[in-house]
Structure 1
Amino acid sequence: MTTRLQRPACLSALIFFAVALPARAQQPSAPAPPAAGQAALSPEQARAKAVEDLVVANKVLVDLGVLDAYGHVSTRVPGDPKHFLMSRSLAPELVTPADILEHDLEGNATAPPGATLFNERFIHAAVYAARPDVQAVVHNHAPSLIPFGVSGVPLRPLYHMSAFLGAGVPVFDIRAAGGETDMLVRTLPLGQALAKTLGANNVALMRGHGAVVVAPDMPRAVFRSVYTEQNARLQAQAMQLSQKVTYLDAEEAKKAQTTMEGTVARPWELWRKKVQGK
């Protein structure tokens, strides 16, 4: 298990110390160029690689504390923008290639006997339908993110690793979209409302629930999920130290995102080897 930053003992100072600025859209990333030899993959090989990366992503995000027994990850089917891959309803740590199911953009899939689908597969279906640039989606319930979805304190990038957060992260309030619910995005209209809140951003918080993180490939979806969670912990700590926290400005965020996301292969390879070595 990766060593984690110390969590703040108290988050009560968040609202008092917050400096709320209007959120501008985060900077979406262009799809990564194909890796050497990737263009030569057959459709079957490309799908097998997508499944492998999806399984690895589930385990990495558990290893790094973003997912636990809950949460889910998906990837678009290579060469088929109208379908995506996600496991059956299962704790992420336990996902294997045999658990991966193909879903359409309305959330339909056929589960094998004894298996069930995720209630919130509509998050993924709606995001893929609304965002052709997105190839991977992560939904998590990271505890460090929850306070920023309920306090009115904007989650903003305060270091280079989380520059993809742009000038702030929008918050989806399911009550406004669907009235009194069990807080789960269990219908396509609720998924569409969440996708609308996400807009062109890379991350959206979900009030009283968690977050959705999107990216043009699986390594970046994992990278963004990890460093969104770390930014939340760091921001909470910084707000306890001072009522004036310095965040990245728009130009710093744009430049840092370009630089840091150009290095994603480094942590992805490390994280992959760690979980595959278990």
Structure 2
Amino acid sequence: MRTDFESTVANLVDANRILFNEEVVDGFGHVSVRHPDRADRFLISRSLAPALVTANDIVDLDLDGESANSEGPKLYLERFIHAAIYKRRPDVHAVVHSHSATLVQFGIVRGLRLQPVCHMCGFLGAGAPVFEIREAFGDGTDLLIRDAERGSELANSLGDHAAILMRGHGSTVVGGSLQEAVFRSVYLEKNAKIQSEAMKMGDIVPLTLAEAEAADAANFAQIGRAWDLWKRAADNR
């Protein structure tokens, strides 16, 4: 019988493969989960394309984004996204960072806001904020969250939201579980595609905040249904 740690690692491997199969990540992007036995640590793959991740690639990091093994494998440069969010948000137990082109466009158009336009994205609430790295670090960065200071600024901008866009970069999504973070990541992409296409036809009608909250509560009970389907699809790829 698997221990909680072994089950968490296995689910994290599945999450990597699901996110690739559902076209949320490609050769880049990453997903992590809070350690099942240590709230002050999290699990994430070594620096590797998500579809290639196995249980042997999972590493254990602290909330500064560092490993106890200084001679361990190469780590993701942007692991500080995960570390800073776990440090600021005790309610968060999983984080997904990706570079979807559909979502990037919503972070670069002035005045445009990604909003929940379908019931599957009720978790967006009033919409997703946009992290503007220039505000804290000037206009000469490479846009990457490559240290704890940048991670902290991103986490502050995320606040209590479920997702944040990163101007010219991508997005970061959080969840109370690994399955929830993956569910939100998949449907955030779908919502962005729907909104993008709908805006070509006219003014959109987003969910009200009350509708979003009700839809999110209804969807929460069905996350496992989607996870099981996506896992099977990834297994059969």
Give the 5 Å matches for 1:44-63.
45-63=3-21
The match for 2:155 among 195, 217, 220 is 195
How far 1:175 sits from its partner (Å)?
1.4
Q: 1:103 — aligned with what? A: 61
How far 1:224 sits from its partner (Å)?
0.1
What's the secondary structure of 2:102's corresponding residue? coil
Give the 5 Å matches for 1:257-276.
257-276=216-235
State the distance in 2 between where 1:268 and 1:111 align: 35
Give the 5 Å matches for 1:107-186.
107-109=65-67, 110=69, 115-152=73-110, 153-179=112-138, 180-186=140-146
State the distance in 2 between where 1:209 and 1:228 align: 16
Identity over aligned residues, as a percent? Answer: 45
**With structure 2 as the length reference, what TM-score do the two structures score?**
0.96
What is the Cα-based RMSD across aligned positions, in Å? 1.3
State the distance in 2 between where 1:217 and 1:167 align: 22
> For 1:45-100, what per-residue CA distance to the aligned partner results, in whole angstroms no more than 9, with x for missing partners?
11111101111001001001100000000000002110000000000000000000
CA contact (8 A) 1:135 1:217 kept: yes
Amino acid in structure 2 at the alignment position of 1:72: H
State the distance in 1 between where 2:13 and 2:125 align: 29
Which runs of structure 1 show a deviation greater than 2 angstroms over 4 or more consecutive aligned residues? 110-113
How far 1:275 sits from its partner (Å)?
1.7
Q: 2:179 — aligned with what? A: 219
Shift in CA distance, 102/164, structure 1 to aligned 2, threshold 3 Å = same
What's the secondary structure of 2:65's corresponding residue? coil
State the distance in 1 between where 2:232 and 2:30 align: 21
CA contact (8 A) 1:164 1:254 kept: yes
Q: Which runs of 5+ in 1 are unaligned?
A: 1-40
CA contact (8 A) 1:111 1:117 kept: no
Q: 2:208 — aligned with what? A: 249
CA contact (8 A) 1:137 1:214 kept: yes
What's the secondary structure of 1:155's corresponding residue? coil
State the distance in 2 between where 1:277 and 1:249 align: 38
- How many residue pairs were aligned? 234
Q: Which runs of 5+ in 2 are unaligned?
A: none
Q: 2:49 — aligned with what? A: 91
Bigger radius of gyration among the two? 1
Say if 2:231 is the partner of 1:277. no
> For 1:94-129, what per-residue CA distance to the aligned partner results, in whole angstroms no more than 9, with x for missing partners?
00000000000001013666x311100000000000
CA contact (8 A) 1:238 1:245 kept: yes
Give the 5 Å matches for 1:224-235.
224-235=184-195
Structure showing greater relative contact order (alpha-carbon pairs closer than 8 Å, 6 or more residues apart):
1
State the distance in 1 between where 2:22 and 2:150 align: 29
